Amino acid sequence: MNRNIAIRILKEELATTLLKTYSVTQFCDALGITRSVFYSRYSSMPDLFSDAIQHEIHQHFLDYRDYDTEQIIYAYLKQIDRTRLFYINVYHLASKNASRHICQDISNAFFKEMQTHLFNSDYSNNHIKGFTSVLFSHVTDWLAHGHKKNALDIYNEVRFMLPSNA
């Protein structure tokens, strides 16, 4: 199973309509693989969701590596806003499966990417962990409440914590 293709198919599947359920069987049918192939890589759908979002975060930081922190954060919030159904579905489907560990995995992935981005700055790991945790909290709250705000609203809520010109 090609990871990039699997993530692309997952994004297509979860970006069309608000879903109440989405199973391994549905995903395998869409990708054209057997369940055993799925389970050879992932232990559950939440593990796939986590991998997909961590991949998105990593790719975003690669694409924006030459930008400052504020631009990176705002661009990522706009990306979430543009693909809101995917993120809302992942949030709700993962919550239904009682898989809170993926929140920690995603938060850690964002922290690691931000830590790499700010490697040569004066910001400590504690400061980076603090603002990435607050940002993650705002994003999950945004998704939990049906995206009633837009990317700029969320950005303005967290902007004061972000390192400037870094």
Average pLDDT over residues 69-84: 93
Which tens digits make up the pLDDT trace of 128-148?
Answer: 999 899 998 889 888 888 767
In whole angstroms, what is the distance from residue 55 CA to residue 47 CA? 12
pLDDT at position 100, please? 64
User: CB neighbours of 151 closer than 8 A, spacing ≥ 6?
Assistant: 74, 77, 78, 80, 81
Of 53-67, 89-103, 105-119, 147-161, the range with the lowest mean pLDDT is: 89-103
The model scores a pTM over 0.85: yes
For the record, the structure tokens of 63 come out as 């694409």
Angle between helices 125-144 and 151-158 (to 10 degrees): 150
Residue ranges of domains in the chain, CATH in brackets:
44-161 (1.10.357)
